[in-house]
Amino acid sequence: MKFFRFGEPGSERPALLDKDGVGRDLSAHVDDFQGAALHPARLTELAALDPAGLPAVPDDARIGPVVPRVGNFIGIGLNFADHAAESGLDAPSEPILFNKAPSSLAGPNDALELPHEAKKTDWEVELAVVIGVPAYRITRADALSHIAGYALCNDISERAFQIERQGTWSKGKGLPGFGPLGPYLVTSDEIPDPQDLKMWLTLNGEVMQNGTTATMIFPVDELIAYVSHFMRLEPGDVITTGTPPGVGMGRTPQRYLVHGDVMELGIDGLGTQKQVCVAPKG
Ligand code: ZN
């Protein structure tokens, strides 16, 4: 099942996509996709509702992020060997973690405001997982039973802040709008093998990234279990699992986002995103 959220920022409503591709408003049945509502058993109940009895979502509705808020928004660095190579870095021997600020969460098609000071803003198409069941010190074999589902993420990154400002990568990862997540929260039954998904990103129509989750160094189940040994993951937490080659930093010459640029990205089965880069308001 594909779930999503629609409406203006901060007042989105939960919905599902019926088998005819029509959005159906779930707000009479669930407040929002947070807490216990993200438990796989609860999502299964919602998926079993008769969509004909649910109001249709307007076609022109804005799509919000798949969850209203995220506690831990964890990124995984250099998780594709070929992306590590284009970054001029060795493949890591164990996963690299960083934090994306929870306030970076955005809708999949929201305009991206490029901060005035940001000169090296870059794109990263990624497979993200949304936690549905608390996870602390879990095993790899148990890991996928703790997710609510999968979502497409653009791990937008300001490279100068990330790399040239010293300390952690988090400085370049958490600006407002740097975490578009969606359009859909896709439950595991629709993604039988998360390590066999094509992923792509275009800039102004030109292919920049064209990869597959098959080339991840650390697969999704291993990442969830690994992160759970450093923090207790809660429902609504998000782990975004790294990007394949083709980022702007890895190109010759390097290419970074400017006003008017349009990013479009997608992953098999998870839908697509489109962000237009604009000047900051005020
Ligand atoms: Zn990333």
29 C-alpha to ligand 1 centroid (Å):
34
The stretch 165-173 carries a mean pLDDT of 92
Q: Exposed, middle or buried, 196 (CB in 10 Å: 0-12/13-18/19+)?
A: exposed
270 C-alpha to ligand 1 centroid (Å):
17
The stretch 213-223 carries a mean pLDDT of 97
242 C-alpha to ligand 1 centroid (Å):
4
51 C-alpha to ligand 1 centroid (Å):
36
Is the predicted pLDDT of residue 28 greater than 80, yes or no?
Answer: yes
**Assigned architecture for domain 73-278:** Alpha-Beta Complex (3.90)
* Residue 154 Rama label (left phi>0; alpha psi -120 to 50; beta): beta
133 C-alpha to ligand 1 centroid (Å):
24
11 C-alpha to ligand 1 centroid (Å):
28
190 C-alpha to ligand 1 centroid (Å):
24
* Bridging pattern class, strands 238-240 and 73-77: parallel
The stretch 166-170 carries a mean pLDDT of 89
57 C-alpha to ligand 1 centroid (Å):
32
Domain positions in the chain: 2-53, 73-278
The pLDDT value recorded for residue 224 is: 98
279 C-alpha to ligand 1 centroid (Å):
23
24 C-alpha to ligand 1 centroid (Å):
32
- The residue length of the chain stands at 282
Is 0.85 surpassed by the pTM of this model?
Answer: yes
Is the predicted pLDDT of residue 121 greater than 90, yes or no?
Answer: yes
Confidence of residue 195 (pLDDT cuts 50, 70, 90): very high
The pLDDT value recorded for residue 166 is: 87
